[in-house]
A and B are shown apart, each in its own frame.
Chain A
Amino acid sequence: MKLQYNPSVRMLRLPCTGRVDVLHVLKAFELGADGVMVVACKKGECAFETGNLAAERRIMFVKKLLNQLGLGSDRVNIYFLSSGEADKFVAAVKDMVEKVKKLGPSPLKK
């Protein structure tokens, strides 16, 4: 389909978003990421049943953590979509980039 989206996104392929740990997200920030987005299957349609829900729980926790640290909770977000919805992914990237741009570069960046 050759849809276009912002090149600042780096993909990390996981078997399931249930694999995402709080530590992974924090590590990304430690290493200099400005934002972290998790792209999961739609709710109720996880190929491994509840992986995406577990990811959502952890992302909510990280959001709280980032808020307390003063980094801004919008630096991490989770999006739910299915493979037929490539347009939704493009919209998600746009949304994420806008949110992070509003917050500016991560202060953890050396």
Chain B
Amino acid sequence: MTKVAAFVCSCGEEISKNVDVDAVVEHIKKMPSVIAVKHDSLCLPSGKEVIQETLAREDAERVVIAGCSPKLNEILFKRVLKDSKLNPYLLEMANIREQCAWVHPDKKNATDKAKALVSAAIEKAMKLEPIESASFTVNNSVLIIGAGVAGIQAAVDLADQGFKVYLVDRNPTIGGNTNRLYMAFPTDDCIFCVASSKILPGIRKCLYRSSLTLHPNIEVLTYSEIKKLEGSVGNFRATIEKKPKFVDERLCIACGRCSEVCPIEVPNEFNFGMNKRKAIYIPFSNAMPFTYIIDEKNCKFEACGKCRNICPTRAINFDQTTTELELKTGAVIVAIGFEEYVPDKISEYGFGIYKNVVTQSYLARMLDPTGPTHGKTVRLSDGEEAKRILMIQCVGSRDKKTNWYCSGICCMFALKHAILMKEKNPDTDIIISYMDIRTPGDYESYYNKARELGVTFLRGRPAEIAEDPQTKQVIAKIEDTVSGGTAEYPVDLVVLSSALVPSKGTEDLAKILKIEVNGETGFVKQLYPKLKTVDTRIKGIYVCGAATGPKDIPQSVTEGSAAASRTASILTQGTSRDLAIAVVDENACIGCEICEKVCPHLAIRMIAKDEKKIAQVSALECNGCGVCSANCLIGAIQLKHSGLEQLFSYLSGLLTEVKKNGLRPIIICFACDECGYAAIDVAGINKLQYPANAFVVRVPCLGRISALEIFKALEGGADGVLLVGCMPDRCHYVRGNQWSQVHLEITKAILRAIGLNENKVNMCTLLSAEPTKFVDAINEMIKNLSSS
């Protein structure tokens, strides 16, 4: 039989004042092949010595430590095992302080419970298996999708650290949304500033000379889109489709002669059709790469051929076709940004109907001296200077009919534009019609400055916008909700501060990458919006910038760096890990694909082996939650650190002991190792009192628990089973607790069907800061079970 060394700690007197530690030691000494040792403070250096001496002398194969919570000192004791040349996973802890001595004042009950907890831990320890660590080779390159400010920042950070970066953008140029902005807050300088790379020193550089295209570690792929992504963290394979520009980027010197001779003129979409461009064109004067491009839809190609004939470097090639290339990368960063909401669905504002109703992006193009109006704010109906301008805030934001969320930066860009116009021409009359002005932090200075410059702020939303058919003036009817009363405001130009919405194709891209989008907003979903802000549910795929929601440049850049840092750490440190993961019994697996479908991190894939389809767990991606094993029909997939045999041994060890004491009802609490177990510990730390009828079984995630484990507990003699886990939507493994809810319902249905009380099983979801919820749930369950 496996030899177990069990150490019982009295923790000074913290444990021994409520638990008869000697009795516990005597009790387990009776168990076969167990060496029991008592100590008063195992976590101190003297305790460590005692453990090491005992292990060396007795040649024990498994270790049980009864004392404080494993949450507190498990890592410390694992190290002691490691120092004693024993695999650290051969340790099991019995929590007789936080979950026993501190919460049960009755010494007899507490001692009985401690005996049961230690015996159960010994039974489980016998079944523990050593878990080794493994290292993995990863590809040292990164694919960045989207070359806006966030993507560029991430690219520069990673490239300077020595990672190979593929910077992919579906547009012909990099820069993203910022290209259209002219001036950016909060510095009021131009938007071409990007973080400079190590090869071009300086604090920041102009986009057009940032050398992104010359950096030895950055490969810029414009006009390219990702079509497929296979593989997993460390070894992704991405298929990129590069659309033809019909101009060779390496040969084009951007002389512009092609554009001069091109006979075809079309509206310039970069300036929202406010001016024209040719069918061969450069998107804007600072475009990067600095290359012309042929617009496939409008060019006549061979039928005309003028541009090809005049090109001095023979860069134009009508035969270019779409090419596909495969990239091998270790990680992916999604930096796909946002786009401006097109407000044509809000009929009362008349966008798309009245020429003099535009959005803030139009205004930004007008204010740009290199733009279509050379810096003049004009009425689009006749090109005359606009002297009276009305800005409308929250267009498509904070409105249940369009987008319920606040777009965050519209107040700022409206104020920025108002100040720019007022500074240029103080006679311009500007009215801002708003619901609330939201300018957090020192952004408030923009509001103050706008007021000082004489911008009129009008609290109220326009009910209707009409046009004078003769003068083309726009007349807005607005109710002033501060002073009361409705008035009509005839203006030259209405500028709608339109919402920020996910860029087109976000959902399709999410499908390709298997990441999630937020169902309510359509932006990419972060793994955890508080602490894992740049992670997605797929390990190795990160997200930054406005891809996850409206953001300004400073926030996007910060997230770009954050994503770069997360990527760098997974590509360097993340290559070695302990294999505390799920393992598949290849003989038993029937290839039903259930585990592949339920895995919250998509770490399981089906492979063919010996003419049979079986599940394979990706060791780098598995987080060891156990949702797969709870849902496996035949138990072919098991957690190494929380397998079925280990749980069953623990339950039988526990219940055999508890039944002897005659304490009723017996309640088994399956607690997840995150909020659930922590909350029960916090109850102990705060010395909250609850009956000694509750016995906690620690599992990685509630998703690990199926009807089988619950019935095993009931069969073994438990009167009730309580599942204690994280709040809905707060599961640390994305949706483990949702699966446990499913298994809870199944169990209840079976109980009903066989004529038993369905209240025998219940679930308690809480935050670790809410220990009273657990105490209340236990008391209520005891009350329910005692009365029935």
- Residue numbers of A with Cβ under 8 A of B are 1-2, 15, 41-42, 44-45, 47-48, 82-88
Shortest Cβ distance from B363 into chain A, in angstroms? 16
Residue of B nearest to A16 (CB): B202
User: CB-CB < 8 A to A1: which residues of B?
Assistant: 285, 370
- What's the Cα separation between A12 and B311 when bound, in Å? 32
Interface assignment of B685: CB less than 8 Å from any CB of chain A: no
Distance to closest chain B CB from A27 (angstroms):
26
A2 to B259, CA, bound (A): 14
Interface size on B, residues (CB 8 A): 19
Is there an interface contact between A86 and B192, defined as CB atoms closer than 8 Å? Answer: no
What B residues does A15 contact at CB under 8 A?
202
Known: A1-B285, A1-B370. A84 touches B189 (CB 8 A): yes
Cα distance, A45 to B193, chains bound together (Å) = 11
Q: Chain A residue with minimal CB distance to B182? A: A84
Question: What 9 A-B pairs come out closest when comparing CB atoms?
Answer: A84-B190, A87-B369, A82-B189, A82-B190, A47-B203, A45-B189, A1-B285, A83-B206, A47-B202
Inter-chain CA distance A42–B203, complex, in Å, is 15
Report whether over half of chain A's contact residues are helix, strand or loop; otherwise say mixed: loop
- The distance in angstroms between the C-alpha atoms of A41 and B205, with both chains bound, is 12
Q: A1-B285, A42-B189, A45-B187 are in contact. Are A86 and B203 (CB under 8 A)?
A: no
Are B203 and A83 in contact, with the CB atoms below 8 A? no
Could you tell me which residues of chain B, from 192 to 223, have a CB within 8 Å of some CB in chain A?
A: 192-193, 202-204, 206
A35–B337 alpha-carbon span in the complex (Å): 47
State A62–B425 Cα separation when bound (angstroms).
33
A84 in contact with B368 given A47-B202, A47-B203 (CB within 8 Å): yes
Say what secondary structure dominates the interface of chain B.
Answer: loop
Contact of B192 among A47, A48, A83 (CB under 8 A): A83
CA separation between A88 and B193, bound complex, in Å?
Answer: 18
Residue of B at shortest CB range from A1? B285
Knowing A1-B285, A47-B203, A47-B204 are in contact, say whether A86-B370 is a contact too (CB < 8 A): yes
Please report which residues of chain B, range 434-471, place their CB below 8 angstroms from some CB of chain A when the two chains form the complex: none
B372-409 CB contact bits vs A (8 Å, 1 = yes)?
A: 00110000000000000000000000000000000000
A63 to B204, CA, bound (A): 31
Q: How long is the Cα–Cα vector from A42 to B285 in the complex, in angstroms?
A: 21
Known: A82-B190, A84-B191, A84-B192. 9 other contacts (CB 8 A): A44-B187, A47-B202, A83-B206, A84-B190, A84-B368, A87-B370, A87-B374, A87-B375, A88-B369
A38 to B370, CA, bound (A): 23
Residues of A within 8 A of B369 (CB): 84-88
Smallest CB separation, A14 vs chain B (Å): 12
Q: A1-B285, A47-B203, A47-B204 are in contact. Are A83 and B370 (CB under 8 A)?
A: no
Q: How close is A73's CB to chain B, nearest CB, in angstroms? A: 27
Closest to B196 in A: A47
**Interchain nearest-CB distance for B370 vs A (Å):** 6
A1 to B256, CA, bound (A): 10
Instruction: Name the residue of chain A whose CB is nearest to the CB of B284.
Output: A1
Give complex CA distance A84, B375 in Å: 12
Given the complex, which residues of A lie within 8 Å of B368, measured CB to CB?
84
Q: Which residues of B contact A85 (CB under 8 A)?
A: 190, 369
Interchain CA distance A20-B204 in the complex, whole Å: 20
When C-beta atoms are compared, the residue in chain B nearest to A44 turns out to be: B187
Which residues of chain B have C-beta atoms less than 8 A from A83's C-beta? Answer: 190, 192-193, 206
Complex CA distance for A47 and B209, rounded to whole angstroms: 14
Task: Decide if B204 touches A84 in the complex (CB within 8 Å).
Answer: no
Closest B-chain residue to A47, C-beta based?
B203
Asked whether any CB of chain A lies closer than 8 Å to the CB of B183, the reply is: yes
Nearest opposing residue in chain B for A88, CB measure: B369
Chain B residues, CB < 8 A from A44: 187
Kindly report which residue of chain B lies nearest to residue A87, judged by CB atoms.
B369
- A110 CA to B202 CA in the complex, in Å? 40
List the B residue with the shortest CB-CB distance to A46.
Answer: B203
Contact B183 A84 (CB under 8 A): yes
Of chain A, the residue at the smallest CB distance from B368 is A84
Q: In the complex, how many angstroms separate the beta carbon of B188 from the nearest chain A beta carbon?
A: 8
Closest to A3 in B: B370
A16 to B116, CA, bound (A): 75
Complex Cα–Cα for A84 and B182 (A): 7
B395 to chain A, nearest CB (A): 26
Q: Which residues of A contact B375 (CB under 8 A)?
A: 87
Which residues on B sit within 8 Å (CB–CB) of A82?
189-190
Chain B residues in 8 Å Cβ range of A45: 187, 189
Distance of A45 Cα from B186 Cα, bound (Å): 11
* Distance in Å: Cβ of A79 to nearest Cβ of chain B: 15
Which residues on the B side are within 8 Å of A48 (C-beta)?
202-203
A78 to B191, CA, bound (A): 23
Q: Measured between C-beta atoms, what is the minimum distance from A50 to chain B in Å?
A: 12
Closest to B183 in A: A84
Shortest Cβ distance from B181 into A: residue: A84
- In the docked arrangement, what's the CA distance between A109 and B374, Å? 39
Which A residues touch B256, using CB under 8 A?
2
**Chain A's nearest CB lies how many Å from the CB of B761?**
65
- A87 surroundings in chain B (CB, below 8 A): 369-370, 374-375
Min Cβ gap A82→B in Å is: 4
Q: Can you list 16 A-B pairs with a CB-CB distance of less than 8 A?
A: A15-B202, A44-B187, A45-B187, A45-B189, A47-B203, A48-B203, A82-B190, A84-B182, A84-B189, A84-B191, A84-B192, A85-B190, A85-B369, A86-B370, A87-B374, A88-B369
Minimum CB–CB distance for B123 against chain A, Å: 67
Expressed in whole angstroms, the Cα–Cα distance for A96 and B183 within the complex equals 26
Residues in A with CB closer than 8 Å to B203 are: 47-48
Collect the chain A residues with CB atoms within 8 Å of residue B189's CB. Answer: 41-42, 45, 82, 84
- Beta-carbon nearest neighbor of A45 in chain B: B189
Which residues of B are found within 8 Å of A41, using beta-carbon distances? 189
- How far, in angstroms, from A86 to B208 measured CA to CA in the complex? 14
- Shortest A95–chain B CB gap in Å is 16
Distance in Å from the Cβ of B284 to the closest Cβ of chain A? 10
State the CA gap A80–B731 with chains docked (Å): 54
C-alpha gap A87/B367 in the complex (Å) = 12
